[in-house]
Amino acid sequence: MSEASHSRIVVFLVHGTWARGAEWTRDDSALVQGLRKSLAPVQIEIRRLCWSGRNTHGQRLGAAEQLRLDIDESLHDNHGVPHFIVAHSHGGSVACYALKDKRLSSAITGVLCLGTPFLNVQKSRLPKSLYFVSVLTLLIFSMMAVLYLFRPAEDPITFWFTAITALLVFPVLGLLLFALWRTRGDRLGLKLLLEARRNPDRYVDALALPELQPAKFVAVRITGDEAAGALVTSQFFAWLFRLLWTKLAKIWEFFDRYSGVAGTIVGFVFLASFGAAGLGIISSEAQVGIRVVAVAVVALGGVVLLVIGFLAYSTLALMFVMHLPFGADAMLASFIVQTTAEPSPPGSANVYHVMPRDDPTKKTAGLHHSEIYEHSRVIEFLGEWIAGKLQAA
């Protein structure tokens, strides 16, 4: 069937993060006007998904459900009319989640994702032996910070201890409270997150991207995409802190393995000193010395525990922060699952790559991530690709 056989097509435009009412989705935008010109005389019905644009997994899943319903309705109203999706940034993730519905995926003629960081979620392989001591350390430092915050510093040491403790604790607590508030009402709410501790597979399955048919899918990328660069940078530091956490876990496991034996020996020596002194085997002065040594050993163990807990808490807090660019709920779930940004979705994919400096119509400097939907060669490619799909239909 030739392109002329299709007098009309439907194109869904899906904006990305923090882009509600995006200009590129309007009828007078360069992209829409370019598509109408290159595909004439085919009439293009533009439909838009206007979602919140909030940067959370839950909001993207909710938007995907709405997109699925909208496409389903359009397919019913426009039977036999080819349907396409053009999505930008995380709007591409929304489109991919919607196409987890195999029936819908088969009905769609083509999907084009512009500058989309395809998020991959896997179960975390972080050792969990340090979680308890990290949380315990957080509580200890929180109480110490509150205790000293509302009383005047008696000396410089107390002042600096209070200041450092507050800087270590309150930003992290504030970030956690912000993430909880930001994810309120999301599909992946706190309830599912708590359940994911016992069954992380459910959480991973909810966020798994489908393998799309390569013939129906193209990922359009631009050199120097700032959004992709920011996510990859966060991804690198998150990996670095995970590595440090693993090293700390090995130290903790060693400490934990022998602390029971050491505690038993110290307790035995401590109690034996009383019996030995009572029987006259050792003097009372020696008994006091033995108890002092035993207490010193116990105190040293407590200091080691606190140091490990402090390092573990600091590492965990930094890892939380590094997951924030992926979304507030991604940060909360970072100890259960790990999120990465990939240039293409799972399976095979077609990729069209452009260079920013190749665009002869570019007049002002701006974000390459936003330039991609105004790029003349991208718009030309979209028109040619859609025309090719119509000819092959």
pLDDT tens per residue across span 128-159 = 666 777 777 777 777 777 776 666 656 677 67
SS3 353: strand
Rounded (10°) CA dihedral 73, 74, 78, 79:
-60
Give the DSSP letter of residue 224.
T
In this predicted structure, what is the pLDDT of residue 4?
46
- Residue corresponding to tokens 């802190």: 241
**Dist. CA 341–CA 315, nearest whole Å:** 21
CATH, range 3-118+204-233+342-392: 3.40.50.1820
- The Cα 298–Cα 288 span in angstroms is 15
Do 301 and 262 meet the contact criterion of CB atoms below 8 Å apart? yes
Rounded Cα–Cα distance for residues 2 and 391 (Å)? 5
Q: What are the pLDDT digits (tens) for 12-71?
A: 999 999 999 999 999 999 999 999 999 999 999 999 999 999 999 989 999 999 999 999
Check: CB of residue 270 under 8 Å from CB of residue 320.
Answer: no
Two structure tokens written together for 272: 């034996």
Domain ranges for the chain, please list them: 3-118+204-233+342-392, 131-201+236-339
Say whether the peptide bond before residue 41 is cis (omega within 30 degrees of 0). yes
- Contact of 184 with 327, CB cutoff 8 Å: no
According to DSSP, residue 214 is labeled G
Nearest of 117, 112, 149 to residue 235 by alpha carbon: 117
The single residue listed with the structure tokens 């393998």 is 211
Can you give the pLDDT at residue 36?
97
Q: How far apart are CA 345 and CA 93, in angstroms?
A: 9
Measure the CA angle with vertex 87, ends 228 and 388; round to 5°: 115
* Calpha distance 372→250 (Å, rounded): 46
Higher pLDDT, 3 or 350: 350
Q: Is 47 helix (H, G, I), strand (E, B) or coil?
A: strand
Please give the mean pLDDT across all residues of the chain.
Answer: 83
Q: Which amino acid is at 88?
A: H
User: pLDDT, tens digit, for every residue of 245-294?
Assistant: 788 778 777 776 766 666 666 566 666 666 666 655 666 677 677 767 76
Mean pLDDT of 344-372: 80
Q: 313: pLDDT confidence band, cut at 50, 70 and 90?
A: confident
Cβ neighbours of residue 293 under 8 Å, at least 6 residues apart?
none
**Residue 47 forms beta bridges with which residues?**
12
The residue with tokens 């700032």 is 226
* Pairing between β-strand 83-88 and β-strand 8-14 as defined by DSSP bridges: parallel
Would you state the structure tokens that stand for residue 385, as one six-digit string? 């690709």
144: left (phi over 0), alpha (psi -120 to 50) or beta: alpha
| Longest distance between any two alpha carbons in the chain, whole Å | 110
CB 232 within 8 A of CB 342: no
Residue 232 banded pLDDT, cuts 50, 70, 90: confident
Q: Is-above-0.75 flag for pTM?
A: yes
By three-state DSSP, how is residue 178 classified?
A: helix
